[in-house]
Amino acid sequence: MKVTKAVIPAAGLGTRVLPASKSIPKEMLPIVDKPAIQYIVEEAVRAGITDILIITNRGKGALEDHFDYYPELEERLASSGKNDMLRSVRAPAQLANIYFIRQKQTLGLGHAIKSARSFVGNEPFAVLYGDDVIIGDNPAIGQLCAAYEEYGLGVVGMKEVTAEAITKYSSLAVSPLHDRIYSVTNMVEKPRPDEILSLFSILGRCVLPPEIFDILDHTAPGAGGEIQLTDAMKELAVTRGMTGVDFEGTRYDMGNKLGILQATCEVALRHPEVGDGFRAYLKELAKTL
Ligand code: UTP
């Protein structure tokens, strides 16, 4: 079955990027000239997703405004002939059918996904974590959707991380199938060193069958006292099996300060308008380091 719906959880408190995220949702922090969430929505659209639910929270109204029209601004740009700028201002509102719902209490990623149940209905759906931007020619979520269509099982996007980093993420039990595709039979969120199953970790993307909602209904709070999506996916992996895709593309963690700086630098270097100037500046700066 073709995946046409996506859910973007963006209701987290963003404590690792305070105070920047106090009144601006961290998903709205820019990478050069577009907010992080726009890269994520564009990735989903390039993968053939047509309907997107963004899960927000109190104080995240800027997300809704960004994907809406802004008539006064557009009229001003049109009347002064700034057509390129006008196109870029209108583009986010035209990307897909975008819906919003609020997670009324910040009880964890698994809890956030539960609020997508009526939007999703009885279909498989993609999940793109609102603070994980993945840049690449081949949209990462499209690679996962293809694996869903091939095996009919839930899919996680994964990458190998360091032994030090894995205790902050999740760890997967995997065996290779073909190319960058693996079978996933178990997983653990924020493993202690003696619980590490492999250095493959879920990073920012998955495709889930609707059965996940019944599992989430009985998923108890886990690491950090939050209802963890990984704990629900573990039940899926153990009982039915899941598929893992070691996706192509570079992932930037916009939920931490270093990730934001890395994304900004690398996207700026490739940017048609500022790329050359930024490269020259960086070369000069590097001489002083
Ligand atoms: P994170 O744990 O990275 O986000 O969740 P956070 O809670 O905002 O981060 P810190 O630790 O406080 O800095 C991964 C994704 O899940 C969403 C976040 O918005 C992020 O996109 N999330 C997390 C929710 O939507 N609801 C939650 O209750 C928790």
pLDDT of residue 163: 92
Q: What is the DSSP string of 213-252?
A: HHHHHTPPP-GGGS--HHHHHHHHHHHT-EEEEE-SSEEE
CA of 107 to the centre of ligand 1 (A): 9
Question: Residue 167 corresponds to which tokens in the numbers above?
Answer: 């205790």
**pLDDT tens-digit series, residues 101-144:** 999 999 999 999 999 999 999 999 999 999 999 999 999 999 99
The DSSP secondary-structure symbol of 41 reads H
* Residue 128 near residue 249 (C-beta atoms within 8 A): no
Q: Which tens digits make up the pLDDT trace of 196-253? A: 999 999 999 999 999 999 999 999 999 889 999 999 999 999 999 999 999 999 999 9
How many CB atoms are located within 10 Å of the residue 271 CB? 15
Confidence of residue 100 (pLDDT cuts 50, 70, 90): very high
Handedness of CA 233, 204, 93, 21 (dihedral sign): positive
Q: What is the DSSP string of 171-191?
A: EEEEEEEETTEEEEEEEEES-
Cβ–ligand 1 distance for 205 under 6 Å, the answer no
Give 14-60 pLDDT, tens digit per residue: 899 999 999 999 999 999 999 999 999 999 999 999 999 999 999 89
For the chain, state the CA radius of gyration. 19
Whether ligand 1 lies within 6 angstroms of the CB of 15 is answered as yes
> Taking the model in full, what pTM does it have?
0.96
Query: 249 near 140, Cβ under 8 Å?
Result: yes
CA dist., res. 210 & res. 194, Å (int): 32
Number of H helices, E strands in the chain: 12, 13
Does pLDDT of 260 surpass 90? yes
- pLDDT value of residue 1: 80
Please give the structure tokens belonging to residue 29. 């922090």
Find the Cα–Cα–Cα–Cα dihedral 129, 134, 139, 144, rounded to 10°.
Answer: -50
Instruction: Give the Cα separation of 134 and 19 in Å (integer).
Output: 24
Find, among 114, 94, 98, the residue nearest to 106 by Cα: 114
The preferred substitution site among 56, 104, 131 for testing ligand 1, maximizing ligand atoms within 8 Å of CB, is 131
Share of the chain above pLDDT 70, in %: 100
Average pLDDT over the chain reads 96
Half-sphere exposure of 247 (CA within 13 A, CB side): 29
Q: For residue 13, which atom of ligand 1 is closest to its CA?
A: 8
Measured CA to CA, the distance from residue 205 to residue 65 in angstroms comes to: 25
Atom 7 of ligand 1, nearest CA residue? 12
Query: Across-strand partners of 135?
Result: 250
Q: Which of 36, 134, 38 is nearest to 95 (CA)?
A: 38
pLDDT at 96: 97
Separation of 11 CA from ligand 1 center, angstroms? 6
Query: Is 108 a pocket residue for ligand 1 (Cβ < 6 Å)?
Result: yes
